[in-house]
Amino acid sequence: MPTSQPSGQVLVQLGYPGDSEASSQAINILGKVVHDSSVITSSFNHWTTFSNFFTTEDPRYVDGVLNALSMAAVPTIFVRVGQPNSAGATQWGVWQQHILQEYRAIYKTSGHVIRVDTSDRLFELARASKTIARTGLVSDIVVAIAKENGLDTLVEQTKGSWSYIQTQQSDYDFIVNRLIVRAQNEAGQANYRFFVRDNVLHFHTVGYQASIRQIDYLKSPGTELVEVDQAPKLVGQGGSGVRLITHDMYAGMSNVVAESPEKALRYANRIPKTANVDGGSKFIRYHLGPNGDAEAEAIAQHYYESQRAGAYQVEISLERAVNLRLNDVIWLTVSSGVANSPWTGYYNLMGVTHSIRQGTISSLLIMQRGECSGTATVGDDAPGQTLSASSFTGSKATGMANVLNPG
């Protein structure tokens, strides 16, 4: 592990497989590489990336450790985040298995200033293509792909057993572009989330074993709150409706398949009147294959829910918020000074950037939902399945979540 700092700071460490040449080289310079800063970026349907900056006076770290690591077919590297507990000692999160993307070293007469970029194992799933026939539930196929790549899973069962050909596609591309758009749970909800956390591949809807957290902005160490209303521009993009114009070449018939708004996840009670816009739906032409109309219905539901869910966005900057993680459900309280703000309520945390510099951390959180809170005189009643705390199965806090609850 190359980092060497006093306790009482937020830190990032790197580690190497014990049987690797990089690990044997690292033993020679233990304690001679100092962490300066890191930027940790996470979002749905993409890999989490760590951009780490270190300094060292020992050139063997670049010439030996990193060079040996990058020579491997799969340059496996481990990262973890630490934060001080109440006693001032560093409490570490779990090791996250990553892949080295690249490193850059600025040569100095007494060593290097180094940038090391790593990504979780979704990046590994995107590096190689394959051709294979797959059959079954979307959820079962995702589990099979994860098993092929040695990943544990947290997957919510889908409905609809269908057939696919993965043709010269990476596993990552196949899941993101073929399977997510066809995934619906037993209740009919779509808009599945796909990401890796604590070395576990997640594929599920928002409420599946989610963690629920609360933020009262005025009582939090926040520096900025930005409220973004994107509802008007979703007309024609799917948020106001989807129409799949299907053609069955076997039967010689065409049909129109629409979304089911009542199956969508509902965060609050009011929704814009965009469904009343004549011709405002997203139109998609689709040739039916052997999977039939049920597949078309799943596709229409996905495009509708994924667009609707982004109508209202909150961007909030906080200090020391590593415990807030991708896909958390957040109850945000925003006071308008007169009454409860229409921006108060549940959100889904869909993008996180943590910036660590010289032992301190700040975080930018991007949260979204498809509805706002309001009276019956504003917008329309929002259709859908209501999001509530009683509908969740609480997940265990792991990894970095533990770090932010110092004992």
Q: What is the pLDDT of residues 126-137, one digit of tens each?
A: 999 999 999 999
Does 331 reside within a domain? yes
Residue 298 and residue 242 in contact, taking contact as beta carbons nearer than 8 Å? no
Hey, what amino acid is at 41? T
My answer on whether 260 and 315 are in the same domain is no
Q: Is the pLDDT of residue 402 over 50?
A: no
Is 178 inside any structural domain?
yes
Residues 88 and 192 in one domain: no
Examine the fold and report which residue of 66, 99, 119 is the final residue of a domain before the chain moves on.
Answer: 119
- Share of residues in the chain with pLDDT > 90 (%): 54
Residue 149 domain-assigned (yes or no): yes
Q: Is the pLDDT of residue 17 over 90?
A: no
Cα 120 from Cα 91, distance rounded (Å): 22
Q: How many domains are contained in the chain?
A: 4
Instruction: Identify the DSSP state of 72.
Output: S
**Cβ–Cβ under 8 Å, residues 61 and 114:** yes
Place of tokens 């398949």: 257
Q: 276 or 18, which is more confident?
A: 276
pLDDT of residue 392: 61
pTM for the model stands at 0.89
Ranking 188-192, 204-208, 356-360, 394-398 by mean pLDDT, the lowest is 394-398
Angle at Cα 40 formed by Cα 306 and Cα 63, nearest 5°? 135
237 and 248, same domain (yes or no): yes
Same domain, 325 and 217: yes
pLDDT given at position 337: 62
Looking at the fold, whether 109 and 25 belong to one and the same domain comes out as yes
Lowest mean pLDDT among 27-36, 350-359, 373-382: 27-36
Nearest to 344 by CA among 354, 336, 353: 336
Of 39-48, 198-207, 244-253, 368-377, minimum mean pLDDT range: 368-377
- The answer to whether 374 and 342 have CB atoms below 8 angstroms apart is yes
At 15, is the secondary structure helix, strand, or coil? strand
Q: Cα separation of 360 and 267, whole Å? A: 33
Indicate whether 167 and 257 sit together in one domain. no
Question: pLDDT tens for residues 252-299?
Answer: 899 999 999 999 999 999 898 888 888 889 999 998 888 888 999 999
Residue-level pLDDT at 399: 29
- Same-domain pairing of 139 and 266: no
Three-state secondary structure of 76-134: EEEEEEEEECCCCCEEECCCEEEEEEEEEEEEECCEEEEEEEEEECHHHHCCCEEEEEE
* Residue-level pLDDT at 398: 31
Cβ–Cβ < 8 Å for 118, 52: yes
Is 77 a member of any domain?
A: yes
**What pLDDT, on the 0 to 100 scale, is given for residue 396?**
38
> Residue 20's pLDDT is what?
57
- pLDDT tens digits for range 326-367: 999 999 998 766 567 889 999 999 999 999 988 888 999 999
In-domain check, residue 61: yes
Query: Which of 396, 44, 34, 30 lies closest to 204, judged by CA?
Result: 44
Same domain, 186 and 275: no
Residue 401: the pLDDT is 31
pLDDT digits (tens, 9 = 90+) for 211-239: 889 998 888 877 789 999 998 888 888 88
Per-residue pLDDT tens for 155-199? 999 999 999 999 999 999 999 999 999 999 999 999 999 999 999
Q: If DSSP codes are grouped into helix, strand and coil, which group holds residue 385? A: strand
Regarding whether 142 and 21 lie in a shared domain, the answer is no
Beta strands in 138-289 (DSSP E): 152-155, 161-170, 193-197, 200-204, 212-216, 222-229, 242-248, 253-258, 265-266, 270-271, 282-288
Higher pLDDT, 196 or 30: 196
Do 18 and 94 sit in the same domain of this protein?
yes
* 47 strand-pairing partners: none
Q: Say if residue 302 is in the same domain as residue 266.
A: yes
> 8: pLDDT confidence band, cut at 50, 70 and 90?
low
Q: Residue 39 and residue 317: Cα distance in Å, rounded? A: 14
Is 141 strand, coil or helix? helix
Tell me whether residue 403 is in a domain.
Answer: no
Per-residue confidence (pLDDT) for residue 395, from 0 to 100: 40
Q: pLDDT by residue (tens digit) across 62-77?
A: 888 888 889 989 999 9
Tell me the C-alpha distance between 81 and 13, whole Å: 7
Q: Which domain holds residue 388?
A: 212-228+310-355+363-393
Q: Do 145 and 188 lie in a common domain? A: yes
Q: Quick one: pLDDT at residue 19?
A: 58
